[in-house]
Amino acid sequence: MTQKPVEMILMRQLASTLATPAFMVDADGTLVFFNEPAEAVLGVRFEESGEMPASEWSTRWAQTDAHGRTLPPERLPLMEALTERRPAQASFFIEGPDGRRRHITVTAFPLLRAADHVLGAVALFWESA
């Protein structure tokens, strides 16, 4: 495992103290952390899943629209925040390893060192009614 930028380390520390579910990726879209509240929604502990590339995490938790159509990874708020360097928000359904389908609302934002240097992105999310 390579050393992470200090901003990513600090964001992970902050996320670990939040009661709001949080999911972090690095500049390549690799999952680097999700907090304990996210574990309850995602149906798995971070220690069990560990880091994984976007191609894996974007399919491990199947994301679908209200009609059951799979959302491509590039349409997920977290990936939009990462690639477009702007906040993004959406509501959709996920199904995790526990087989439970959940409706979630996600707000994601990029982690920038400078306007031209993306470190990663963070998604905060919650189950919707």
pLDDT at 65: 93
User: How confident is the model over 68-90, as pLDDT tens digits?
Assistant: 999 998 899 999 999 999 999 99
Give the chain's mean pLDDT. Answer: 92
CB atoms within 10 A of CB 116: 7
Predicted TM-score (pTM) of this structure:
0.90
Domains defined along the chain, listed by start = 6-127 (3.30.450.20)
Q: How far is CA 100 from CA 26, 34, 83, 94, 103, in A?
A: 27, 19, 29, 8, 10
User: How confident is the model over 7-36, as pLDDT tens digits?
Assistant: 999 999 999 999 999 999 999 999 999 999
